[in-house]
Homo-oligomer: A and B are copies of this chain.
């Protein structure tokens, strides 16, 4: 069993909002021929356990503490009883453990540590992130630059806070990642063959 776990190729992608990390994850998964879990995992868990998607989404990347009785405190990783939020995190974990995959977000770099994943962090400068957000926004959506910057800050703050629930390692600190990719001014698509080659080389040596 241990051998199987060690031979699995799991790539986790943590990313700044607007950096193109999700696109990089999807394209990388395609290049590697493995599934990519992002929103899909939310739908899979919600469907399997009969939860509401929005509820699962909230548990998956925001905050699970509020769902716990205060007596559990910080010991939620070993709660006295299995409650809904833990069931959801466990169900995600179960899906990830089924085979090689790319996972975007979900704090997977921490939750799957025992499976020795390759952890990437995708980031970019503020202007590049702004441009990406503008490009992917709905044409009918009127949103100011100021509002985009506010959302960027807010979402990254939530991601950092969610990570803080599982580890003292600071979100985005390069030491916790194996490869940090700055996508500023770059087209993600063109970088993929090299990133996929890096992943294969990295696992070839595990």
A181 to B194, CA, bound (A): 14
Chain B min CB distance to A203 (Å) = 11
A186 to B201, CA, bound (A): 10
Question: Which A101-123 residues have a C-beta within 8 angstroms of B?
Answer: 121, 123
Q: How many copies does the complex hold?
A: 2
Q: Chain A 166-189, CB within 8 Å of chain B: the 1/0 string?
A: 000000101101111110111100
Instruction: Using C-beta atoms within 8 Å of the partner chain, give the interface range for chain A.
Output: 20 to 34
Evaluate contact between A193 and B182: CB separation under 8 angstroms: no
Evaluate contact between B201 and A198: CB separation under 8 angstroms: no
A185 to B194, CA, bound (A): 21
A197 to B191, CA, bound (A): 9
Evaluate contact between B187 and A193: CB separation under 8 angstroms: no
Evaluate contact between A182 and B182: CB separation under 8 angstroms: no
> Does A73 belong to the interface (CB within 8 Å)?
no
Evaluate contact between A190 and B175: CB separation under 8 angstroms: no
